[in-house]
Amino acid sequence: MQTLGSFMIYTRIVGSGSFLPTTVVSNNSLAKDLLSRGIHTSDDWIVQRTGIKQRYLAKDDINTSYMAVESAKMALTDSGINASDIDLIIVATSTPDCIFPSTACIVQSKLNANRAAAFDLQAACSGFVYALSTAESFICSKKAKNVLIIGSEKFSRILDWNDRSTCVLFGDGAGAFVLTASYDCGILSSCISSDGSISDILSVSGHFEKGEIKGSPFVKMDGQSVFKNAVKVLEESARAVCNKACVDISNVNWFIPHQANIRIIKMLGRRLNVSDDKFIITVDKHANTSAASIPLAFNVARLDGRIKNGDLVLIQGVGGGFTWGSSLVRI
Ligand code: UT7
């Protein structure tokens, strides 16, 4: 939100969209597949420790830009805004099609969004809240009127399918928002934060050097450290954005935290004194889709009628970097 003269300029969500690959893999089916390679896990362990029951996995011919474009088309249709009227495209992803061109430029071309500037944003699982906050800055400073933000991940590409402590946790998918400048309502307050000093608790260290991959091409995670830090920063940033907007947490209608683990979400609810039924939960069906998890969850609740115009929604991301952020939005 920004005051210009006597007018408040808000960043309003006017369209949302999502895309999930067609292949659904249940815990049982994944456990069977892993067992055939000597790796033991079970539906019971995965459900009890994470709340995940299944995940969607993209086949070889589906990449991050494809999923991004499909979710963007749905969001554009929902918004009624033409691709040619989009000023800026931001794709939040840790699994870009290639190093460059950016996935955002590929999306721009496929959508014929000819006027748009386009770039990727890398903040791991916090990417979508970082994109939302960045888009808000462009809109409130009048550098852009219509912005398309997308979280898209083919996370299965960077999973070590021999590491049961990570490979059961993630899935693929994409989600998108169309945002526009509004005098009525939209983002009331937002914050993004980082702590690079604990970057080693969640990383993919691999990179190219002289034609070779150096470091690991796979996700490495100290699950318990990530868990503890996630609960702490999600609570702090929820309180910070609500205080900034002078909104009591009890007046927030819906909470959409990053969907990584149901136990993180339940612990957050207890700390904020918010009942479970105010949380939008998709981790059971989608697993952790990194930067895509928030718009995927938002779109589920928008389509099934839970999130309505006028509702106050708290959107929260957390992940590698270490990064986190929150936005309090009047829909
Ligand atoms: O998107 C970024 C944000 N990411 C997150 O928020 C993830 C945060 N962390 C977590 O969600 C949890 O820490 C995990 C779900 C990753 C792990 O849960 P945990 O309760 O912290 O389990 P743990 O790592 O302490 O492991 C407990 C046991 C270990 O066995 P021992 O040493 O007790 O014998 C693991 O080897 O569970 C074992 N284990 C498994 N067993 C069956 C680890 N992975 C599996 C598995 N199946 N897939």
245 and 172 belong to one structural domain = no
224 and 170 belong to one structural domain = no
Look up residue 138 and give its DSSP letter. Answer: H
Q: How far is the CA of 115 from the centre of ligand 1 (A)?
A: 46
User: Mind listing the pLDDT tens digit for each residue in 263-304?
Assistant: 999 999 999 999 999 999 999 999 999 999 999 999 999 999
The amino acid occupying position 133 is S
Average pLDDT value over all residues in the chain: 97
147 and 275 belong to one structural domain = no
12 and 116 belong to one structural domain = yes
| pLDDT given at position 7 | 74
204 and 326 belong to one structural domain = yes
Whether the per-residue pLDDT at 322 is higher than 70: the answer is yes
127 and 60 belong to one structural domain = yes
Helical (H) or strand (E) element with 72: helix 64-79
Split into its structural domains, the chain has a count of 2
The helix/strand/coil state of 74 is helix
37 and 165 belong to one structural domain = yes
67 and 196 belong to one structural domain = no
Whether the per-residue pLDDT at 1 is higher than 70: the answer is no
Q: Is 288 a catalytic residue?
A: yes
User: Mind listing the pLDDT tens digit for each residue in 81-108?
Assistant: 999 999 999 999 999 999 999 999 999 9
Cα distances (angstroms) measured from residue 278 to each of 89, 188, 260: 31, 19, 17
Whether the per-residue pLDDT at 6 is higher than 70: the answer is no
Q: How much is the average pLDDT of 164-168? A: 98
Per-residue burial over 224-247, b if 16 or more Cβ lie within 10 Å, else e, is: eebbebbbebbbebbebbbeebeb
Confidence tier at 5 by pLDDT (50, 70, 90): low
Catalytic residue among 125, 167, 185, 242: 125
15 and 122 belong to one structural domain = yes
> Which has the higher per-residue pLDDT, 3 or 158?
158
Question: pTM for the full model?
Answer: 0.97
| pLDDT given at position 4 | 56
From 150, 182, 214, give the residue that closes a domain: 182
Specify the residue with its C-alpha closest to ligand 1, atom 21: 224
From 165, 182, 199, give the residue that closes a domain: 182
Phi-psi region of 114 (alpha: psi -120 to 50; beta: other; left: phi over 0): alpha
From 158, 182, 206, give the residue that closes a domain: 182
177 and 255 belong to one structural domain = no
Mutate to test the pocket of ligand 1, among 165, 199, 203, 258 (most ligand atoms within 8 A of CB): 165
Domain containing residue 170: CATH number? 3.40.47.10
| pLDDT given at position 112 | 98
Q: How far apart are CA 312 and CA 27, in angstroms?
A: 34
Q: Which residue range(s) make up the domain with 287? A: 187-330
| First vs last C-alpha separation in the chain | 14
